[in-house]
Amino acid sequence: MRTAPTILHLDMDAFFASVEQASKPSLRGKAVIVGGLGPRGVVATCSYEARVFGVHSAMPMAQARRLAPNAAYLAPRFALYRAVSEQVMTLLRALSPLVEPLSLDEAFVDLEAGEAAWDAGSARLSGAKLRADIRAVTGLTGSVGLAASKMLAKIASEQAKPDGLVLIEPGTERALLGPMSVRTLPGVGPATGDHLRRAGIHTVEELAEAGEDELVRLVGRAHGHALYAMALARDERSVVAERETKSVSVEDTYDVDIHDRVRVGLEVQRLADRCVRRLRGAGLSGRTIQLKVRRYDFSTLTRSETLRGPTDDPVVVREAALRLLEAVDTTGGVRLLGVGVSGLADFTQEDLFAQAAGEAVQVAEDESREERSKEDAEEPQERRWAPGRDVHHAEHGHGWVQGSGLGRVTVRFETPTSEVGRVRTFRVEDPALSVAEPLPLVRGPAGRGAWS
């Protein structure tokens, strides 16, 4: 293990909810909950103001509504989250070539590889500068952990939350970990934690005292060896630069089980088209088409078909997904459908014979725009006017949906750079109102706290 705390772990604070607060002036300082809004939805992220009421990630949305009935409940806007995430990842890559993203809002950085740090003092300075740069570029806050290993850096960032920095000095790790719960260690979930608790092991110190042989007996050879090493603060894992995408997939969970076989087929086609748009957006194609079906009884079936060559043709993917559906019994109802493509490549079979690459790219972009417009036109009303979604009105400009029902949609007209906006209500079929793309987050000059 290293002798200097030069591994950095960044975890953005309440990321999805913070982005929503940054882009909606009326929600700043308010309880915001982002996730699936249907009866089967779960909380993806909630603001710290919502956590005061006991709301947390992965909680059923129905429970969250009981705990915080006056919070703002919003559908996620992943396109915007990805854009903000890329801004943050760009700042991390400026520190070091070794950046290991774990999700949109979390990553490890090897500061030593980028010569951004070589001891505790320089590591602390790099971490502080990173937090300041993130705030200046995005207006958001992130928590930073610094340590000599990935495990300890992640533990440090958790201690730093929210909006803080914690550095674990080499040589102090055992003393720090000792009194902590075994659940603090990576890989120790509820089941393993309960198993250890029944054996009288509650803390990391007790884990180390149990010894490696006893841990192997309790949880198995591989897990036992790993647990003992972690209890002794040993973690030799390196920061690994971004891994290649292995697959691209999309899926939807339905509020009410789908029983109509024709509707199931239409949903599969729509998901196939969305999947292809993601493929093209990433400049990829794939050979293996996958279908995922979760039935009314929670049983999940997956089917796949491998093509002769990679493709990003929506017709090919759509037809393959429908062929796979033919082999699946949907009697009783379907609660989730998904379509994915794997065996990825950065070319399609057709590219091998293309004469004008630039023209082919333009055609693909035009088709993508046409398909996106078609999906918007055919989108169910409840999704088109989902709370939090961006809209534009011919007279009032950009706004976001606060709610809809009974043929009406309520919109608050404001932007990331405006004051708190006014609320107006329209008929859902109002021709002046349309779905819009999210506006970027833009910070004001001189690092002002307000958006301007």
Q: Is 319 marked active-site?
A: no
| 393: phi then psi, degrees, rounded to nearest 5 | -115, 140
With contact defined as beta carbons under 8 Å apart, do 149 and 185 qualify?
A: no
What is each CA distance from 411 to 106, 388, 402, 424, 432, in whole angstroms? 32, 9, 5, 5, 13
What is each CA distance from 197 to 47, 82, 185, 204, in whole angstroms? 32, 39, 14, 12
Residues 6+ apart with CB under 8 A from 68: 31, 33, 50, 53, 55
Residue 349 has what DSSP assignment? G
Q: Which of 49, 106, 173, 414 is catalytic?
A: 106
With contact defined as beta carbons under 8 Å apart, do 144 and 9 qualify?
A: yes
Give the N- to C-terminal CA distance of the chain in Å, as an integer: 46
What does the alpha-carbon distance between residue 323 and residue 24 come to, in Å, rounded to a whole number?
44
| 3-state helix vs strand vs coil in the chain, percent to 5 | 40, 25, 35
CB-side neighbour CA atoms (13 Å) of 188: 26
| 157: phi then psi, degrees, rounded to nearest 5 | -70, -30
Burial class (CB in 10 A: 0-12, 13-18, 19+), 11: buried
What does the alpha-carbon distance between residue 254 and residue 334 come to, in Å, rounded to a whole number?
8
Closest by alpha carbon to 398, among 376, 422, 414, 416? 414
- Catalytic annotation, residues: 106
